[in-house]
């Protein structure tokens, strides 16, 4: 496992949804741009993409459970250690579930707990069905997070996994990378 350098460490949160496979390309792009990438996957994300994919791409152990003993942390509170060693928290894809949990302050897994303990720049790339994205509850949650300083990229419009056309696609990984770099440069 690589040593963590907070100036170069990005936590990539991956949540459940078919767009999770695109997070592998995003992880690869981040690594190619010199970042130490620590992937934190939700239980549902692991149903779409295996942690091994991200471990190969990032050369770091994937965090899937906050009670694991061999996390990239120096104490028994890995969510706090990871938060302190991170330069950017990027969630891609971000499901309606994680957006709602973060906005409500729910901390019931490693990713949502990390979101509460991290105070640096945060970027969310949503991906979900059009109806879910346009639902007033989702829009209220997005507005709430924007009010708390979270930046968003997307979602994009196009063909969705369910066969529908509309807004809800994960933004292109290259566009997410650019937004991440812009967010980091804005916070220097």
Choose the catalytic residue: 43, 56, 162, 174.
162
- The DSSP line for 1-55 is -PPP-TTTEEEEEE-SSTTHHHHHHHHHHHHHTT-EEEEEE-TTGGGTS-HHHHH
Asked about 162 being catalytic, the answer comes back as yes
Beta bridge partners of 91: 13, 124
DSSP letter, residue 71? S
Locate the DSSP E strands across 22-149.
36-41, 88-94, 122-126
Half-sphere exposure of 115 (CA within 13 A, CB side): 30
How is residue 74 annotated by DSSP? S
How many CA atoms are closer than 13 Å to the CA of 24, on its beta-carbon side? 16
Rg (CA), the chain: 15
* SS3 (DSSP) at 125: strand
Catalytic residue positions, numbered = 162
């Amino acid at each position: 496992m690589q040593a963590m350098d907070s100036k170069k460490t990005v936590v990539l949160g991956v949540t459940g949804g078919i767009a999770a496979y695109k997070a592998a390309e995003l992880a690869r792009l981040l690594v190619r741009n010199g970042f130490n990438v620590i992937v934190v996957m939700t239980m549902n994300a692991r149903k779409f993409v295996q942690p091994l994919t991200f471990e190969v791409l990032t050369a770091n152990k994937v965090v899937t459970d906050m009670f694991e003993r061999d996390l990239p942390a120096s104490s028994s509170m890995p969510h706090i250690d990871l938060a302190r060693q991170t330069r950017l928290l990027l969630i891609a894809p971000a499901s309606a579930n994680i957006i709602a949990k973060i906005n409500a302050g729910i901390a019931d897994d490693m990713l949502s707990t990390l979101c509460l303990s991290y105070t640096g720049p945060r970027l969310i790339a949503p991906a979900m069905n059009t109806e879910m994205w346009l639902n007033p509850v989702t829009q209220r949650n997005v507005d709430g997070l924007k009010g708390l300083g979270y930046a968003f990229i997307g979602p994009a419009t196009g063909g969705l996994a369910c066969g529908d056309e509309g807004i809800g696609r994960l933004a292109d990984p290259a566009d997410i990378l650019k937004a991440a770099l812009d967010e980091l440069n804005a916070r220097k």
